[in-house]
A and B are shown apart, each in its own frame.
Chain A
Amino acid sequence: MESEQPRLSLRHISKSYSGNRVLSDVSLDVRAGEIHALLGENGAGKSTLMKILMGMDEIRQSGGFEGEILLDGEPVQIDSPKRAHELGVCMVHQELMLVNGFTVAENIRVGREPVKRIGRGERDAACLPIDFSRLREQAKTALERLHVELDGDMPIAELPVTQMQFVEIAREVDRPGIRLLILDEPTAVLNDEEAECLLDRMARLKQSGLSILFITHRLGEVLRCCDRITVLRDGAVAGRAESGKTSAAAIAEMMIGKRLLAIHTSERISFGEPTEEPVLQLNGFWADLPGERVERLDLEVRRGEILGLGGLSGQGKIGFANGLMGLCPSGGVVILDGRELSLGDAGSVLRAGFGFVSEDRRRVGLLSGSSIEENIAIPAMLNFGRFLRRVGPVQMIDRRAMRANALEFIHALDIRCTGPDQPAGMLSGGNQQKVCVAQALTLRPRILLVSEPTRGIDIGAKHLLLNVLLRLNREQGITIVFTSSELQELRSVCDRIAIISRGRVAGILPPDAPEAEFGLMMSGLDVKRSGV
């Protein structure tokens, strides 16, 4: 085993984006005929590593990378996806890349269509007619190699998503001279049964001698089908393991790391415990947010607590707040203080006592061309009639009251701006986020829904915002549902943390639970924890 030449060898890969180091000294070997899992949280550097491997433009444009890539022992320069294909490195991306108007067969051979030779002599293939019967034959062979039975003449748009996934894999595997197949979260959109089917096909490909680099979040899959595992964390290799000699808990701990607890204990400020009484109850709540589907949420939010919603991206934690606000189709029973809430209209939800800070502040949270004061005032003006004065039959805006309110929040949240009339779009990310929070607070909510408030803002603003949330909760008794991809953040402010996986609550943990438990829950393994 030791003497065997690795199929792919990445040596000391480092990469920075404008001074920000996203990969440092990553080395990785993939053997011939092996399924190698690459694991890591969102933002651990997996996608950047794959972009380097595929020679994406983005890498070159942002200053290239350090380190070297060896294929079967030979150093290679991969400077474009085309070059990667020539070298036999192919990738199935997370987002499906298929031509919707084409049939299955056409999709498999797209760009490599067989042509009919007409007459004698060399002619540019681009000018020759496509040989459709040969194309069908070739596509059939490619599908057979995957052991997939599919009619090559089916329009691709009519297939279920699993089958589309197979067509993509068939297309890549069919490339001449393929040596390494990269699968980027192929099971993310699949249910268990479908995922199982895919894993089975992967095992068959492996037997035919192909090396597979498998990126996933689901630890169960990894242990079942992969030979070896490399875990990335914060751009560096956090650990390696062989799947036979490790456990899901050990891998989860590698992914999440130990560092969290220290920060958590130093930041945790206790102001007395929230009551057990539920203020908000969700029964069978669903929300159809594309990419963040909530299948069925059964959850109780207690009065006065900060409830964290965590989980990997794409699992549905973002869907909760958006669905509740009626920003995507949603349904189920939502009971606030014993009264059932009617869903589908943001206005009635706001009037019932919710405040909402969207995860997407640029697109949903702000009117970037309008002034800070208008941004803050509009929802409260519409739903509670604040900042208005009557002039005859017309409701005019009370500019003075609006300004006073804005100045109050500019002071309280330390919004750095030239004044309340500055357009919100000109502020920095952190200050924009503060405007969004001010907007929600102007509604004087009983329950505040905050999603990803610290995404893309600097560390100082992050601390300030988390402190603001804590203060609101402790001093004004506002119940907060805090959604975040950063577990570290959740653990520093929340009373309880619900992990959302595949659109359901995988479990609820106290913030000081061991990191392995969080990791396992996020990875979709069934871990039930009671008494929390």
Chain B
Amino acid sequence: MKQSLIARVGLPRIIIFAFLLLLLALCVLTKQDLGAITGDVIVRFGMNGILALSMFPSILCGAGLNFGVPIGVIAGLVGGLLSVEFGMTGFGGVAAACLFSVPIAVAFGYLYGKLLNTVKGNEIVVGNYISYAAVSLMCIFWLLMPFTNPAITWPIRGTGVRTTVTLEGFYDGLLNDTLSFTVLGVKIPTLLLAAFALACVLIWLFSRSKTGLLMKAAGENPMYAAAAGISVDAMRLKGIILSTLLAAVGIVIYSQSYGFYQLYNAPLNMAFAPVAAVLLGGATTRTVKIRHVIIGTFLFQAIITVAMPVANQLAPDGGLAEVARIIVSNGIILYALMQSGGERK
């Protein structure tokens, strides 16, 4: 059972880690504020964590990478807007946003899961298209929704939802700032990390429950599951619902840190960062562990955060940093999908 260090950690993680070190060295050379950058990395790690965690149940139940994250994101956004509509602030606001989004996410997840059960093996493609469709449909609904709070509606028109709803005065940065402290010039967003950690622990416990284990069995080998009496479709459905739910809660946590709810086309790209993160962390389309989510989110967000100031320094004009982010995240997805496809003989 002895494996070399490279085999155990995995070549992709070593390469990315080396790349990260290189970027950090460049940061030092270009005299960047390392403390601020490290703080940014930690914040981005915390705010993206639960979104990445939403990949866990969908891979576990055999539906593969959930490219339908935007569906959960939409549910979370509706929940979040409701909390703003009712003028809820502080922890109550965040809690309400999460609670409001639960039934919506469950309903969306159920429909999405039903659909995915009819297209087994093509979840990635179908998930992508459904996301596009759902986001486009929502672009109409955002305009029609009967919100009345002026913080949400268009200032002149007085109806419909704005493209971005600021959380200033509601719960902007609540989890980031409360109980935070500074070590060596790095601000630690205590509650944000705690929220991610709590979500990880809950999902880990879930994976050790009866349902979790049966879900894993259904995902790993549907024929074994059928012979054991497990209803594969029901397990997949539960996995997708849980994944959608996590995406909904994930976007609330993400948005409170970011300071805005971003609507209309914004949810469309929310799938790529989580997908890239878990793949980078060592997950495949069929197997995933909580540590893949944690390591992957950290490495992925660190690369992007550190690369930005470096890229801006090296090529001050234009959005090179954004271009680099897209190349890196899509490159990682492509690489990982090739890997998981290539193992089958």
A366 near B221: Cβ-Cβ < 8 Å:
yes
B210 near A381: Cβ-Cβ < 8 Å:
yes
Q: Of residues B209, B228, B287, which shows the largest number of chain A Cβ atoms within 10 Å of its Cβ?
A: B228
Closest B residue by C-beta to A356:
B227
| Complex: A231 Cα to B229 Cα, angstroms | 44
Is A394 engaged at the interface, CB distance under 8 Å to the other chain? yes
Pick the interface stretch among A123-131, A180-188, A254-262, A368-376. A368-376
Q: Which A residues touch B209, using CB under 8 A?
A: 394-397
Is B334 engaged at the interface, CB distance under 8 Å to the other chain? no
A369 near B224: Cβ-Cβ < 8 Å:
no
Least Cβ distance of B63 to chain A in Å? 17
| Complex: A279 Cα to B71 Cα, angstroms | 53
Is A350 engaged at the interface, CB distance under 8 Å to the other chain? yes
Q: Which B residues touch A22, using CB under 8 A?
A: none
| Complex: A351 Cα to B228 Cα, angstroms | 10
Pick the interface stretch among A65-73, A280-288, A289-297, A341-349. A341-349
Q: How large is the interface on B (under 10, 10 to 19, 20 to 34, 35 or more residues)?
A: 20 to 34
Closest B residue by C-beta to A394:
B209
Pick the interface stretch among A75-83, A102-110, A357-365, A510-518. A357-365
Q: Which A residues touch B217, using CB under 8 A?
A: 367, 370, 374, 378
Q: Which A residues touch B214, using CB under 8 A?
A: 378, 381-382
- Against A, the Cβ 8 Å flags (1 = close, 0 = not) of B215-230 are 0110011011011111
| Complex: A369 Cα to B208 Cα, angstroms | 16
Is B338 engaged at the interface, CB distance under 8 Å to the other chain? no
Q: Which A residues touch B205, using CB under 8 A?
A: 394, 396
Q: Which of A488-516 contact B (CB under 8 A)?
A: none
Q: Of residues B210, B211, B214, which shows the largest number of chain A Cβ atoms within 10 Å of its Cβ?
A: B210
Least Cβ distance of B97 to chain A in Å? 25
Closest B residue by C-beta to A377:
B213
A395 near B220: Cβ-Cβ < 8 Å:
no
| Complex: A56 Cα to B205 Cα, angstroms | 54
Least Cβ distance of A222 to chain B in Å? 37
B210 near A388: Cβ-Cβ < 8 Å:
yes
Known: A388-B210, A396-B208, A396-B209. A383 touches B229 (CB 8 A): yes
Is A481 engaged at the interface, CB distance under 8 Å to the other chain? no
Is A327 engaged at the interface, CB distance under 8 Å to the other chain? yes
Is A325 engaged at the interface, CB distance under 8 Å to the other chain? yes
Count of CB-CB pairs between chains A and B under 8 Å? 79
Q: Which B residues touch A396, using CB under 8 A?
A: 205, 208-210
Is A379 engaged at the interface, CB distance under 8 Å to the other chain? yes
| Complex: A394 Cα to B204 Cα, angstroms | 13
| Complex: A358 Cα to B210 Cα, angstroms | 24
Q: Which of B182-213 contact A (CB under 8 A)?
A: 205, 208-211, 213
| Complex: A364 Cα to B209 Cα, angstroms | 23
- Against A, the Cβ 8 Å flags (1 = close, 0 = not) of B104-119 are 0000000000000000
| Complex: A369 Cα to B230 Cα, angstroms | 18
| Complex: A441 Cα to B245 Cα, angstroms | 38
| Complex: A388 Cα to B214 Cα, angstroms | 12
Is A418 engaged at the interface, CB distance under 8 Å to the other chain? yes
B221 near A367: Cβ-Cβ < 8 Å:
yes
Q: Which B residues touch A366, using CB under 8 A?
A: 221, 224
Q: Which B residues touch A363, using CB under 8 A?
A: 221, 223
| Complex: A423 Cα to B223 Cα, angstroms | 18
A379 near B223: Cβ-Cβ < 8 Å:
no
Least Cβ distance of A445 to chain B in Å? 13
| Complex: A367 Cα to B208 Cα, angstroms | 16
Q: For the complex, would chain B's binding face be called helix, strand, loop or mixed by DSSP majority?
A: helix
| Complex: A331 Cα to B287 Cα, angstroms | 36
Cβ-neighbour of A369 out of B210, B223, B287 (below 8 A): B287
Q: Which B residues touch A326, using CB under 8 A?
A: 226
Q: Which B residues touch A347, using CB under 8 A?
A: 228-230
| Complex: A517 Cα to B217 Cα, angstroms | 44
| Complex: A418 Cα to B224 Cα, angstroms | 23
B229 near A382: Cβ-Cβ < 8 Å:
yes
Q: Which of A376-420 contact B (CB under 8 A)?
A: 378-379, 381-383, 388, 394-397, 399, 418
Is B1 engaged at the interface, CB distance under 8 Å to the other chain? yes
Known: A394-B209, A397-B210, A418-B1. A364 touches B230 (CB 8 A): no
Cβ-neighbour of A346 out of B1, B213, B216, B227 (below 8 A): B227
Least Cβ distance of B77 to chain A in Å? 30
Q: Which B residues touch A356, using CB under 8 A?
A: 227
Cβ-neighbour of A367 out of B211, B220, B229 (below 8 A): B220
Least Cβ distance of B189 to chain A in Å? 30
Q: Which A residues touch B210, using CB under 8 A?
A: 381-382, 388, 395-397
A327 near B213: Cβ-Cβ < 8 Å:
no
Q: Which of B66-89 contact A (CB under 8 A)?
A: none
| Complex: A350 Cα to B1 Cα, angstroms | 35
Least Cβ distance of B59 to chain A in Å? 12
Closest A residue by C-beta to B214:
A382
A327 near B226: Cβ-Cβ < 8 Å:
yes
| Complex: A187 Cα to B221 Cα, angstroms | 35
Cβ-neighbour of B224 out of A348, A351, A364, A383 (below 8 A): A364
Cβ-neighbour of B216 out of A368, A370, A383 (below 8 A): A370
B229 near A368: Cβ-Cβ < 8 Å:
no
A345 near B213: Cβ-Cβ < 8 Å:
no
Q: Which A residues touch B227, using CB under 8 A?
A: 325, 327, 346, 356, 358, 364-365, 379
A348 near B229: Cβ-Cβ < 8 Å:
yes
| Complex: A95 Cα to B210 Cα, angstroms | 43
Q: Which A residues touch B229, using CB under 8 A?
A: 345-351, 379, 382-383
- A interface residues (Cβ-Cβ under 8 A, vs B): 325-327, 345-351, 356, 358, 360, 363-370, 374, 378-379, 381-383, 388, 394-397, 399, 418
Known pairs A347-B230, A356-B227 / 5 extra A-B pairs, C-beta < 8 Å = A327-B227, A369-B287, A379-B228, A379-B229, A395-B209
Query: 10 nearest interchain CB pairs?
Result: A347-B229, A379-B228, A395-B210, A346-B229, A364-B223, A367-B220, A367-B221, A396-B209, A378-B217, A364-B227
Can you list 28 A-B contacts with CB-CB less than 8 angstroms, sorted by A residue number? A326-B226, A346-B227, A346-B228, A346-B229, A347-B228, A347-B230, A350-B228, A363-B223, A366-B221, A366-B224, A367-B217, A368-B220, A369-B220, A370-B217, A378-B214, A378-B230, A379-B227, A379-B229, A382-B214, A382-B229, A383-B228, A395-B209, A396-B205, A396-B208, A397-B208, A397-B210, A399-B208, A418-B1
- B interface residues (Cβ-Cβ under 8 A, vs A): 1, 205, 208-211, 213-214, 216-217, 220-221, 223-224, 226-230, 287
